[in-house]
Amino acid sequence: MRRFYVIIVALCIIVAIAFGYIPFLQEYTLDITLHIKKYYNDKKENLTLFINDYMNQATQIKNMREKIEQLEIDSIKHKALQAEFDNLHYALENERHYSDPDVHLVKVLSYMTLGTYTKIWMDYTHLSDEPKIFGLVKDGYAIGIAKMVDNHLLGILNGDRDCSYSVYIGENRVPGILRTMENGDIVIDYIPAWQSIKSGDNVVTSGLDGIFFEDVQVGVIGSIKPENGYLHAELKPHRFSNRLSYVWLIDTKIPQTTNLNTNMFRQEDDN
């Protein structure tokens, strides 16, 4: 019995203590709950800010990349325009200024084929059904001829076997024909054997073929030898700028009724 009373008393004491500490426990529990909520809210806010910063940075990086790409494109275009301006300025300022309306400054587009430097495509819109051979001038020198091929202007430069035109040699204006041998040597051929020419004589266009007008500089005579009843002379062409961005196109408007016998040239070279 005594033991039962002891248990009852103990329970009463425990209940009394519990009821006395309830406000303290409630306050402690509330503090813990508030700390947990604050910690959660802080982490949530930091995570939200982190995500927003990441998204903003990703957007900014994308925009910056697009701007960089556009700047690179603009830079390339600027370089192309600057090169075009420089080439045009060079052609207008440093080359011979022709006032004849039959002389046109034309732009070189490309080589006809890679590795072949004696044929070039040019930009020329004045098309004609009449077959016509034009002269090409660079730095004041005759550098070749041009003709329409499939409605496109093809330049054929000195040193190409398809390039040929008439010239004068020296002070006595001795006639001859410029052409290129199979080995690539540029020569003046079909010079009358009774005419007097010498090494170092100046060579100019004659204009008699309707391709050039007279007196455009070509080069000077090198070695000379007789061949098949004519004189055959080596030609040393004048050097011109390799900057073939623009060239002068000569259209004499003269009917071209004289045709060079290119087959004869090929037969002789084969022999």
Q: How far is CA 22 from CA 15, 33, 35, 153, in A?
A: 10, 16, 20, 105
Report how far residue 267's alpha carbon sits from residue 185's, in angstroms, rounded to the nearest whole number.
16
**Coil, strand or helix: which one is 104?**
strand
Asked if 118 and 179 sit in the same domain, the reply is yes
Kindly report the average pLDDT of the chain as a whole number.
Answer: 76
Q: Is residue 267, in this structure, part of any structural domain at all?
A: no
Asked if 194 and 83 sit in the same domain, the reply is no
Which uninterrupted H or E stretch holds 44? helix 2-94
Residue where a domain terminates, one of 96, 115, 148 = 96
Q: How many structural domains compose the chain?
A: 2
Q: Which pLDDT belongs to residue 70?
A: 73
Between 72 and 202, the higher pLDDT residue = 202
Residue where a domain terminates, one of 39, 71, 96 = 96
pTM comes to: 0.62
Asked if 86 and 156 sit in the same domain, the reply is no
Nearest of 151, 149, 192 to residue 168 by alpha carbon: 192
Q: Is residue 256, in this structure, part of any structural domain at all?
A: no
State in Å, rounded, how far the first CA of the chain is from the last one: 149
Asked if 122 and 166 sit in the same domain, the reply is yes
Q: Which pLDDT belongs to residue 97?
A: 45
Q: Are 210 and 256 in contact (CB under 8 A)?
A: yes
Q: Are 209 and 256 in contact (CB under 8 A)?
A: yes
Q: What is the mean pLDDT of residues 245-266?
A: 68
Report how far residue 269's alpha carbon sits from residue 271's, in angstroms, rounded to the nearest whole number.
5
Residue where a domain terminates, one of 69, 96, 123 = 96
- Write out the residue range of the structural domain in which residue 212 sits: 102-251
Q: Which pLDDT belongs to residue 124?
A: 84
Asked if 244 and 139 sit in the same domain, the reply is yes
Q: Which pLDDT belongs to residue 42?
A: 64
Q: Which pLDDT belongs to residue 104?
A: 83
**Coil, strand or helix: which one is 24?**
helix
Q: What is the mean pLDDT of residues 168-180?
A: 94
Asked if 2 and 123 sit in the same domain, the reply is no
Asked if 38 and 114 sit in the same domain, the reply is no
Distance of CA 266 to the CA centre of its chain: 36
Asked if 133 and 212 sit in the same domain, the reply is yes
Instruction: Summarize pLDDT for 193-250 with one digit per residue, the tens.
Output: 999 999 999 999 998 888 988 888 999 999 999 988 899 999 998 887 777 888 888 8
Q: Which pLDDT belongs to residue 50?
A: 66
